[in-house]
Structure 1
Amino acid sequence: MSYLPPWAKRLICLVILLCLATAATPRLLEFSDRTFTLTPEQIGTAKTGNNEERILAAIDDIRAGKMADARATVDALLNEQPNYRLAQLLRADLYAMRAMPLDTIGGGAAATNASAPSSVLDDLRKEALVRIAHRNEDQATANKLPANIVVFAPNQQYAILVDASTSRLYVFANENGKPKRIKDHYVVVGKLGVDKRVEGDQRSPLGVYFVTSHLTRPQLDKTYGELADLYGVGAWPISYPNELDRSQNRTGHGIWLHGSPAATYARAPQASNGCVVLTNEEMLKVSSYLQPGNTPVIVAPRVEWLTESEWLQRQSAALALLTQWKSKWENLDSAAYLQFYGDEFRSAEGQTIEAWRSQKTAVNTGKTWAKVQLSDISIFAAGENSSQLVTTFQQDYRSNNLENQMRKRLYWQRGNEGWKIIWEGAATI
């Protein structure tokens, strides 16, 4: 070695050291080596209940550090609903938390899959948050009544109420004229939210509508082919645009209640093109309460909840308003009668408030008496803070020179001067 250059001597020494180090390394992971064992994973207890109750229970257990119970619940959910994306996300989080702490839902998926679109994770977080928010709100509103359901018509057995702010659909039964909550479900609304104005704006409408028909899955398959899967178990069209929408030049069509694609258990809170979407399982449950041509579907920006005494006062005030309008009309008091109409009024025929005033004043001049009877009255409220009333009734009008019966609808708007009629005409459904 004395003849080797210095760099060669250093290289030979380094090789000898590496060989010795390799030989001294313990082989801890060989199957025959009993000096290393894995700690068995703790077996948890899966929670029971419906799918939403179980997903929320899993989130609660994660927050409380009960990881085994959370894993058991999520695994049970995914065994039943393998396409439940929120449950898949929680499973990814539970695996990731074995190696690192997480500070947000979906942190595990974000850490282990950097290519996952942030919009997908954001949508799933939103779904979790709106479900959690509903549970918290539900505890405060369980014994309250919705301001949106004011008066049921005698033949209306149920009403559907959608709270766009919480992605929630409620089914209310007509229990002796009072709304009784019997079911509620998570729903999906338009990708860009609510207050639909034009065709293709990807918003859900706000207002009072009615179920018009039922499109079965075989009917959808025949019409749309493979695209029918978007609607899941079936679709129940609603009457958008309603009479007021058309008078305000709102456009669009094909707004339905419908199910979800087979490959997706539940979609993000804002993911439709304007329809109101449920899981297939829950759409089937809700469908049993839908009567085409009769069941109202009220889509509100936020539901206003009232105590029973507040609700009764609200109902009495709405009925009194309608009675006052009828009385002024019967009394041929044109000036007082026309005070019920707002400056933005449009009739079914397109008359402005000026034309309406002229016509009604001229008609009443030729009357000596008039009698108006209203029956089968329904009143529902929509808009921010229940600021819009939709009154529908069977009208029997008789006077000295005219008799007329019709199904009529009035749209009222609350403003600085109180309630004003902004549309009047025959009810189209």
Structure 2
Amino acid sequence: MNTNSERIPRKVGVAKRSSRKTPFGCMALFASIIVLLALLNSAGAADHAPERASLVPAPFLKWPEKGSDHAVLVDKSQQKVFIYRKDSPSAPVKTYSCSTGENDGKKSRQNDRKTPEGIYFFVNVFDQKDLAPIYGTRAFPLDYPNPVDRREGRDGYGIWFHGLNKPLKPRDTNGCVALENNDIDDLSSYIKLNDTPVVISSKAELIEPERLKREREELEKLIEGWRKAWEGKQVDKYMSFYSPQFTSGKKDWKAWKEYKARLARQYKEIRVNLENLGLFRNDGTAMAVFNQQYTTSAFDSKGIKRLFLQQNSSQWKIIGEYFDTPEERPVIAVAKRAVQEDKAAAQRKTASSVSASAEIRSLIESWRKAWEKKDLRTYISCYDGSFSSRGMDLKEWRMHRERLNQQHQTLAIELKDMKIRESSGDTATVTFIQDYRADDYRDLGLKNVLLIKRGANWKIKKEEWRDLRKPRR
């Protein structure tokens, strides 16, 4: 009995020690650890979820009250396109996968295979019938290069959002933003040409709403101070809002101050009204866009003003200023001679603006007719001596055209959807769809023509062409 009683505890003890070494015990312990870690991770994610959900995209500081309800944000690092709505900016309403330029960095040169970064607008749309198959079902050209790009010496052209005729691959374009066809078609419902902003960023930045509010109010205060100083003819204060590196057309900071001082002396009263302000920023550059009405005793003008600003240390300064689609209307003449002179000056300015557009259209039509008739002398007379295109100077361009004229018996050139944009008093850009036929050859493309004014005449300084459809023979 004693022997048996002694053996039982030993067997039980062995059994207990053996149970601690079984695989089932280790697995249970491991499973417990996994469950505990999952709970901790879930709790941590729950703690951070509200914080991230409250973040908003940094580029959209202030949405205009009127106009597009949506904005487009491209994150090159994620290869994503996000659509935001102004009444709910804390989360995108749509997200699409995309493909950008195969080379990293900000576009600076033609054929560098990089996608630009900055603040842009959609300026046109092409349907599938007008496109080469590689662009899919739809394409939306951007206004690259914008004034800041040109100011900083960036060139290239033809940056589009477009579809595809092949599977979507990350970083696989020449610089455009490509989407799958069903996505570009869906995106089209959110786009208003020349109105829906597009911000392309190397990496999208999300910030707290309070920080966005502070940045918005800072720029709103700056814009209002600028307006009041302009309206109050406080030239020194007005110029304090401008960067020393400011340029507008051929005017630098000093010439701009002299110009504004002269106008302040000329007019007894100036009224400046701003409406529908939008504020956008990206990578240290901000853009303010608004409807501006400028009124004096002699005339008033209405149009869309764009101010580009950059941060100098902690302060924003205006680096560029651009006024589009002005409408100037002379007022009824009054007896005072000074006002009559002001009116005459305004009428001359209006006539000059109308005349410039007419002169440009006349040049382009003369150029088209001379090209079509193979009148090489007249054709080349439309070009400036500094002309360059496709690596050819003017002499080489003439030889190139002469060879083509000899190859074809008949030419037919049709220009459609022409748009003229004056960058300054002596430069302008003309964009149109060019339908070119030579005997049994045909091509269709988007042409951009840069013009420069030499004395009283406009001349072609540069032209760029992008294929819209495969050539047909």
Per the normalisation by structure 2, the TM-score is 0.55
> Is 1:158 paired with 2:158?
no
Secondary structure in structure 2 of the residue aligned to 1:189? coil
Distance 1:179 1:139, change over 3 A: closer
Secondary structure in structure 2 of the residue aligned to 1:407? strand
Q: Is the 1:379–1:389 contact (alpha carbons within 8 Å) kept by the matching residues of 2?
A: yes
> Is 1:306 paired with 2:218?
no
> Is 1:209 paired with 2:120?
yes
C-alpha separation between the residues in 1 aligned to 2:123 and 2:90?
A: 22
Match of residue 228 from structure 2? 327
Output the amino acid matched with 1:409. R
Taking the TM superposition and a 5 Å limit, the aligned residue runs for 1:237-252 are 237-252=141-156
Q: Is the 1:325–1:340 contact (alpha carbons within 8 Å) kept by the matching residues of 2?
A: yes
The unaligned stretches of length 5 or more in structure 2 are 1-33, 35-47, 326-420, 422-473
**Same amino acid, percent of matched pairs:** 27
Q: Is the 1:393–1:409 contact (alpha carbons within 8 Å) kept by the matching residues of 2?
A: yes
Distance 1:396 1:339, change over 3 A: same
Match of residue 427 from structure 2? none
Superposed displacement of residue 286, structure 1 = 1.6
1:267 pairs with 162, 169, 182, which one? Answer: 169
1:381 pairs with 265, 278, 281, which one? Answer: 281
C-alpha separation between the residues in 2 aligned to 1:307 and 1:392?
A: 24
C-alpha separation between the residues in 2 aligned to 1:182 and 1:247?
A: 34
Paired residues, number: 279
Match of residue 371 from structure 1? 271
Output the amino acid matched with 1:236. F
The answer to which structure has the higher strand fraction is 2
Match of residue 59 from structure 1? none
Match of residue 180 from structure 2? 279
Distance 1:427 1:138, change over 3 A: farther
Residues 274-311 of structure 1: CA distance to partner in whole angstroms, max 9, x if unpaired? 10111223222222211222211111222221222222
Higher relative contact order (CA 8 A, sep 6+): 1
Match of residue 254 from structure 1? 158
Q: Is the 1:164–1:194 contact (alpha carbons within 8 Å) kept by the matching residues of 2?
A: no
> Is 1:171 paired with 2:83?
yes
Q: Is the 2:309–2:317 contact (alpha carbons within 8 Å) kept by the matching residues of 1?
A: yes
The unaligned stretches of length 5 or more in structure 1 are 1-63, 65-136, 221-227
Distance 1:295 1:427, change over 3 A: same
C-alpha separation between the residues in 1 aligned to 2:186 and 2:152?
A: 34
Superposed displacement of residue 394, structure 1 = 1.0
2:304 pairs with 387, 394, 407, which one? Answer: 407
Residues 197-254 of structure 1: CA distance to partner in whole angstroms, max 9, x if unpaired? 121111111111111121111111xxxxxxx232122211111111222233321111
Superposed displacement of residue 152, structure 1 = 1.8
Secondary structure in structure 1 of the residue aligned to 2:164? coil
Q: Is the 1:147–1:381 contact (alpha carbons within 8 Å) kept by the matching residues of 2?
A: yes
> Is 1:426 paired with 2:328?
no
Per the normalisation by structure 1, the TM-score is 0.61
Output the amino acid matched with 1:378. G
Distance 1:188 1:152, change over 3 A: same
Q: Is the 1:167–1:187 contact (alpha carbons within 8 Å) kept by the matching residues of 2?
A: yes
List, as ranges, runs of 4+ consecutive aligned residues in structure 1 with deviation greater than 6 Å: 137-140
